[in-house]
Amino acid sequence: MAQSDKSRVLILFCGGTIIMKEGPDGGLKAPSRKEAVATLKAIEDRLSTIADFDIHFVENIDSSNMRPTDWDNILAAIEQNYDRYDGFVVTHGTDTMAYTAAALSLAIKNLGKPVVLTGSQIPGSRLETDARRNLVNAMKLATMDVSGVFVVFDERVILGSRASKASESRLDAFVSINAQDAGEIRADIHLNQSLPRRRFDKAAFFPGFDPDIAVQTLTPGCDPEDLVFLLQNKRTRGIIILAYGTGNLPYDFDIFFKRAREERIPVVVTSQCLHGITRMKGYDVGLRALKLGAIEGHDQSLEMLAVKLMWALKHYQYKDIATVMQTNFAGELSIPTRPPA
Ligand code: ASP
């Protein structure tokens, strides 16, 4: 790589609509790797005026096909190239971008540079695409004096640990869950002043996620035995329940919580409300589940809770999972917490 005063950015290529083309049956799909990378490069041929950049190929897939092992591959690429670049841009499908953002947020400790995920709702080769502005803004953010994992989309800069895809087709597709955006994109990028600056700490990487979790939504009259069944399949290692309101569950779920404790399977309770924050001591129905071992999700997004549970199951013992789930690692949780030992 030639020496220059310009910032250096590594683009981690993962696929997504941004590089997709219509297949023979009309559905969008990733073309060959060569064509996909060429499509990304063609979105804007002046990107190098923002930063000297290289492209590192990770995957070329619809992000519905992303697996936790792909998150590990992205982490490995960042770790191997950490000292050579000033920032990282991850081009990614929008469908599971928020999960990848959560995974990167948790698994990098002392991150002293920006890692920016972006993509588009409309393929990059189409006239009306949103890819160009998203990619340009992600590149710009990757050179700025800020550190952390972010999603850049449309006019928003969102903390990676709070991102959620809220619309399947709006260009303004992502929102911050239970938090303010980290910044706003107008003519320039305006970042929240409280964000951490760049720093020269040695970043530490903790990849590894156990995908064997189940997420269940409560509906009135649902049978707790259906969840007891999950405890018996010898595969499910953690469960998330989308309960009502502030984290309320019917009394007949007692049996499920007791069994989960016996089987040493952590159960996290979050709210199914669109803007839900749990407060399980607020009603007797929630309090009872808490007393039986339910782990309260507080204001964390579902994406974060799912990824955090996978990460906790891989790195910690059963007795520590509740503490890990209720520890703030990357801005995902606003209650005061003590880090796990
Ligand atoms: N299905 C696509 C993906 O997640 C959607 C997108 O990129 O917008 O890869």
Question: Hey, what CATH topology would domain 8-205 get?
Answer: Rossmann fold (3.40.50)
- Which residues are catalytic, by number? 17, 94-95, 165, 283
Q: Distance between CA 246 and CA 280 in Å, rounded? A: 6
Helix (H, G, I), strand (E, B) or coil at 288: helix
Q: What is the pLDDT of residues 101-140, one digit of tens each?
A: 999 999 999 999 999 999 999 999 999 999 999 999 999 9
Instruction: Please list the residues that pair with 271 across neighbouring strands.
Output: 243
CB neighbours (10 Å) of residue 83? 9
- Alpha carbon 145 to its chain's center: 22
Q: Where do the structural domains in the chain lie, given as residue ranges?
A: 8-205, 213-325
Q: Concatenate the DSSP letters of all residues of 11-76 into one string.
A: EEEEESGGG-EE-TTS-EE---HHHHHHHHHHH-TTGGGT-EEEEEEEEEE-GGG--HHHHHHHHH
Question: Hey, what CATH topology would domain 213-325 get?
Answer: Rossmann fold (3.40.50)
The alpha carbon of 277 and the centre of ligand 1 are apart by a number of angstroms equal to: 28
The alpha carbon of 229 and the centre of ligand 1 are apart by a number of angstroms equal to: 33
Mean pLDDT within 268-274: 95
Answer whether 8-205 and 213-325 agree in fold: yes
Query: Ligand 1 pocket check: which of 13, 14, 17 to mutate, most ligand atoms within 8 Å of Cβ?
Result: 17
Q: Does pTM surpass 0.75?
A: yes
The alpha carbon of 123 and the centre of ligand 1 are apart by a number of angstroms equal to: 9
Q: Is the CB of 3 under 6 A from ligand 1?
A: no
Mean pLDDT within 57-67: 98
Q: Distance between CA 223 and CA 314 in Å, rounded? A: 30
Q: Distance between CA 252 and CA 218 in Å, rounded? A: 12
Query: Ligand 1 pocket check: which of 14, 20, 59 to mutate, most ligand atoms within 8 Å of Cβ?
Result: 20
Helix (H, G, I), strand (E, B) or coil at 275: coil
Q: Is the CB of 124 under 6 A from ligand 1?
A: no
- pLDDT-derived band at 341 (thresholds 50, 70, 90) equals low
